[in-house]
A and B are shown apart, each in its own frame.
Chain A
Amino acid sequence: MIRKTVLGAALALFAASAAFVVTEAEAATTSAAVLKHYAELAHAKYEDSLTTAQTLDKAVNALIAKPSEETLKAAKDAWIAARVPYQQTEVYRFGNPIVDDWEGKVNAWPLDEGLIDYVDASYGTESDENALYTANVIANPKIKVNGKTLNLSKFDAKTLRSLNEAGEIEANVATGYHVIEFLLWGQDLNGTGPGAGKRPYTDYDKANCTNGHCDRRAEYLKAASALLVSDLKDMVVAWAPKGKAAKNVQANSKKGLTAILTGMGSLSYGELAGERMKLGLLLHDPEEEHDCFSDNTYNSHLNDAIGIKSAYTGEYTRVDGTKMTGPSLSELVAATDKALDTEMLGKLDATLTAMNAMADRAKKVEAYDQMIGEGNKEGNAVVQKAIDGLIDQSKSVERVIASLKLGKVELEGSDSLDNPDAVFK
């Protein structure tokens, strides 16, 4: 109960202004160093996300110029490689408003793919929720959104943006990694059986076009991959030494450290363990899979977990193999509570072990969507173990918040107008 209160206060602190007093003058310099390095790692991770997305963009060019099994496979490989650094950045969500505000453009999920391209008959033809459920904009250059006509005769950054969340439906995702994934793999129609999406390369072959509108499909794919590159550039700029996000997180050490820990805790528990993993197990629904077209979900989850650890240890291995290290939250915690630091590191490792076991099973035995299938006791247990690890580590994150005294915000009885964000207690 106490932990709860402390955490509540810590999260409220997020909002709270400069009225509180930083008590550890000595720790403040260390905190500043930790935050500086945290921002440097973000910059490196987004840079790696950008360069791998640029590689993907080139592979997309090659696929469109000369569609073949080889160019399609090269584009798919480039997509999978691009997901590695990007998923490791996800721990920068939740704590950093600039990232949260931007994230939906590149990683929105789940999506109603019928908005974009042809789908199998089993997908159904209508959804009252989403009038654009099977709009198929690749085949239909003009669609109606809430009575207004949207002209999509050309696919570019502007038209794709206008299509995103059309009709206020969040599943109308028109941009980002998962759109590109769908355009490369196609629907995974195997349910909880083996196999990913099987889009033929001839979907991009203007001479021997399958499924129609190959030119428009290519134009859409190119626009989406170019937009991904441009969106990632924005984040690289934001985390550069004088960038907005970097400055923001370093402006106040308590708020900054809270941002790191909020990202770790929220990604562990609510986002990953909850929405992305537990729900699929609960419903045994193969659609409840993060990278559902490519069957790359295990990698996506694993790299999230690597990112969470990295936010604590300050270590990151770049795409080119360079190892980055620096002042870390781990050192900060160890300075006051060695045992707690050991506990936190142990929990992060336990999760990674469970995640690696899951990844191993995905490579050797069965895909993630099969693991969550009903009656698959062994597969379910492997996923559950990773969930348990994530939940367990978020409890230690709460203890770290308490140990760094981030929760000790004294607002009791405050009615000062200097602190308009105060809450009555």
Chain B
Amino acid sequence: MRKPKSFVFLLPLLSGALLLTPLMAIGGDALFPNTRTDLNPKDQKRVESVTRPTTDFSKPEPFETMSGGAATSRADVNGDAFSHFSANITFEEEGTFKLGNALFTKLWVSAPSSTQASDGLGPLFNARACQSCHLKDGRGHPPEGGADATSMFLRLARPARTDNEREAIADYRKLNFPDATYGEQLQDLAVPGLAAEGRMKISYEEIPVKLGDGEIVNLRKPTYSVADLGYGAMEGDVTLSPRIAPPMIGMGLIQAIHDADILRLADPEDKDGDGISGKPAMVRDHKTGELKLGRFGFKAQNASVRDQSSSAFAGDLGISTPDNPFDHGDCTKAEAACLAMPTGVQERLGPVEAPDPVLPLVTFYSENLAVPARRDIADKTVLKGKELFYQSGCTACHAPKFVTSRDAGNKAHVFQLIWPYSDFLLHDMGEGLADNQPVGVATGSEWRTQPLWGIGLTETVNAHTFFLHDGRARNLTEAVLWHGGEAQKARDAFAALSRQDRAALVKFLESL
């Protein structure tokens, strides 16, 4: 938005240079400024002061209850805790939110159908509605007890093979390359008359881990494969990356964080030698092609909630939108039967299956699912756990707080002190968590730091405590113990704590 337009034209020329020093461009030049451009000096000072990490753990910090600033939901804590709208929107915006909610829960049907405005599903799909995976707007889970794979799927991709492909990745035109037959993700469902692509299979192996005080914790190590392939073999260099549906809260606020505040935390070469790098994900805006800072998705592959939403419409539901007008979803040329299926386009309603205002409504909804207020912030154990969280080095990536931009698109998200506990950068998380699937600048072992706000309400909302990108961790302790790579030191610090201190740290997380 604040980027000089001319850069778009310069980009192809620069791409060679970017390949050699891909991060120079974001190190502090005019393209992505290192300092905030939206604040006067007085505000700049206030922001610096209020976002400075605390050193006092004897009492809560000011404003700490309101994790999402004035947008925070203060509703009674129950199973709907992730489904409330930003508390500071107008009645009119509440109307937009409710319409978005209705579309978010709407079941799309296969074409042709009598309800012409809601057909066009698939032909290949993972779900019939957004809400199918984003259960209660919360966190998905791996299949349990032989149930289907809804709320989790496999992303398919291979790395570049040719110089041309490598160049496309170097100048951010491509993130990676799909399987020639199965496309970008494995759809385990298809409309009547069409074969599904296959089934995700998971097997788990229990691995005992001994902690500092001698306690043994079992971690379950998953192995993924695909069964019942419907259209022949997959390509040899294609990898499977399992993804559960992430919670939907606070995304408009994440979008409103100023680029400079995230880039300031980046240290891709680890110049300060603390073992933590932090790499910004540079991606292109789907519509304009502008280079932007990626912040959404497990690999930070999307810069905006709208891009994340239109991708999900296309890949997960197989519904075309103005931003992603291909009506056959993730069908490839090798899936001729899929391409031959009818689409849900009604000329009189528009040239795509979900014409405006569907995408803007769902985007607004997704931007305004409120972060719930903290609980128990003054509890002694919670404060102790908070101190241990800081001391163990967790905040090196799980950055506690930001003040959002004065230029945010939605008034409700402007200049709010928010507490997402993420730096929204990519970090090497070690071999244990690696999916070996590169996505743009993210290598196969790098993941975006997940925000932690709301994590303590997972069980209240979704009746489970499965964490990490594929839900392998069965509780918060297991999730911490899976951290490796740049997070190894922090993980080891946690593992070395006494049982009581570990419990305190977990209690702090549960208060988020």
Query: Which A residues fall within an 8 A CB radius of B?
Result: 1, 3-5, 7-9, 11-12, 14-15, 97, 100-101, 104, 127-131, 146-148, 165, 168-171, 191, 265-266, 268-271, 273-275, 278-279, 282-285, 287-288, 374, 391, 394-395, 397-398, 415-417, 420-425
A270 and B97 contact, Cβ closer than 8 Å, known pairs A12-B88, A170-B131, A424-B63: yes
Which residues from chain A contact B59 at a C-beta distance below 8 Å? 417
Residue of B nearest to A6 (CB): B90
| Cα-based distance from A271 to B92 in the complex (angstroms) | 11
The number of chain B residues touching the other chain, given as a range, is: 35 or more
B79 x A100 contact (CB < 8 A): no
Q: Per a CB cutoff under 8 Å, which of B74, B102, B189 touches A421?
A: B74
A417 and B98 contact, Cβ closer than 8 Å, known pairs A8-B88, A8-B89, A127-B128: no
- In whole Å, how far is B193's beta carbon from the nearest beta carbon of chain A? 14
Q: Which residues of B (96-128) have their CB < 8 Å from a CB of A? A: 96-99, 101-103, 105-107, 114-118, 126-128
Is B76 an interface position by the 8 A CB rule?
Answer: yes
Is B145 an interface position by the 8 A CB rule?
Answer: yes
B63 x A269 contact (CB < 8 A): no
Residue of A nearest to B145 (CB): A147
A129 x B107 contact (CB < 8 A): yes
B99 x A128 contact (CB < 8 A): no
A128 and B98 contact, Cβ closer than 8 Å, known pairs A4-B90, A420-B377: no
Residue of A nearest to B83 (CB): A170
Which residues from chain A contact B70 at a C-beta distance below 8 Å? 8, 12, 423, 425
Q: Per a CB cutoff under 8 Å, which of B60, B95, B131 touches A391?
A: B95
| Cα-based distance from A398 to B95 in the complex (angstroms) | 14
A278 x B99 contact (CB < 8 A): yes
Is B417 an interface position by the 8 A CB rule?
Answer: yes
B99 x A422 contact (CB < 8 A): no
B50 x A424 contact (CB < 8 A): yes
Q: Which residues of B (454-492) have their CB < 8 Å from a CB of A? A: 462-463
Which residues from chain B contact A421 at a C-beta distance below 8 Å? 65-66, 74, 373
- In whole Å, how far is B487's beta carbon from the nearest beta carbon of chain A? 29
B415 x A170 contact (CB < 8 A): no
Is B369 an interface position by the 8 A CB rule?
Answer: no
Interface string of B61-95 (1 = CB under 8 A from A): 01111100110101110111000000111111011
| Cα-based distance from A15 to B67 in the complex (angstroms) | 13
Which residues from chain A contact B377 at a C-beta distance below 8 Å? 420
Residue of A nearest to B144 (CB): A147
Which residues from chain A contact B219 at a C-beta distance below 8 Å? none
Is B148 an interface position by the 8 A CB rule?
Answer: yes
Which residues from chain B contact A288 at a C-beta distance below 8 Å? 102
Residue of A nearest to B114 (CB): A191
Which residues from chain A contact B117 at a C-beta distance below 8 Å? 282-285, 374
B66 x A423 contact (CB < 8 A): yes
Which residues from chain B contact A265 at a C-beta distance below 8 Å? 91, 94
A8 and B107 contact, Cβ closer than 8 Å, known pairs A101-B78, A129-B150: no
| Cα-based distance from A265 to B75 in the complex (angstroms) | 17
Residue of A nearest to B85 (CB): A270
- In whole Å, how far is A294's beta carbon from the nearest beta carbon of chain B? 21
Q: Per a CB cutoff under 8 Å, which of B66, B87, B115, B136 touches A170?
A: B136
B417 x A424 contact (CB < 8 A): yes
Which residues from chain B contact A148 at a C-beta distance below 8 Å? 145
Which residues from chain A contact B64 at a C-beta distance below 8 Å? 420
Which residues from chain A contact B394 at a C-beta distance below 8 Å? none
A269 and B101 contact, Cβ closer than 8 Å, known pairs A285-B118, A415-B63, A417-B60: no
Which residues from chain A contact B72 at a C-beta distance below 8 Å? 15, 423
- In whole Å, how far is A354's beta carbon from the nearest beta carbon of chain B? 17
Which residues from chain A contact B411 at a C-beta distance below 8 Å? 1, 4-5, 8
Q: Per a CB cutoff under 8 Å, which of B89, B115, B463 touches A168?
A: B463
A128 x B189 contact (CB < 8 A): yes
Is B506 an interface position by the 8 A CB rule?
Answer: no
Is B146 an interface position by the 8 A CB rule?
Answer: yes
Is B383 an interface position by the 8 A CB rule?
Answer: no
Residue of B nearest to A129 (CB): B132
A14 x B90 contact (CB < 8 A): no
| Cα-based distance from A420 to B103 in the complex (angstroms) | 36
| Cα-based distance from A169 to B70 in the complex (angstroms) | 29
Is B129 an interface position by the 8 A CB rule?
Answer: yes
Write 17 A-B pairs (CB below 8 A) sorted by A numbering: A1-B411, A8-B90, A12-B70, A15-B72, A104-B80, A127-B107, A146-B144, A165-B79, A168-B79, A168-B135, A275-B99, A284-B116, A287-B115, A374-B116, A417-B62, A423-B70, A423-B416
| Cα-based distance from A306 to B95 in the complex (angstroms) | 20
| Cα-based distance from A100 to B98 in the complex (angstroms) | 16
| Cα-based distance from A158 to B74 in the complex (angstroms) | 29
Is B403 an interface position by the 8 A CB rule?
Answer: yes
- Can you add 6 more A-B contacts, CB < 8 Å, to A283-B106, A423-B72? A8-B88, A128-B127, A128-B148, A270-B91, A270-B95, A283-B115
A169 x B135 contact (CB < 8 A): yes
Which residues from chain B contact A423 at a C-beta distance below 8 Å? 63, 66, 69-70, 72, 416-417
B99 x A147 contact (CB < 8 A): no
- In whole Å, how far is A282's beta carbon from the nearest beta carbon of chain B? 7
- Would you list the 5 A-B pairs with minimal beta carbon distance, nearest first? A147-B145, A424-B417, A270-B94, A274-B95, A129-B132
Residue of A nearest to B79 (CB): A165
- In whole Å, how far is A361's beta carbon from the nearest beta carbon of chain B? 23
Which residues from chain B contact A287 at a C-beta distance below 8 Å? 115
| Cα-based distance from A257 to B116 in the complex (angstroms) | 44
| Cα-based distance from A28 to B62 in the complex (angstroms) | 30
| Cα-based distance from A169 to B151 in the complex (angstroms) | 12
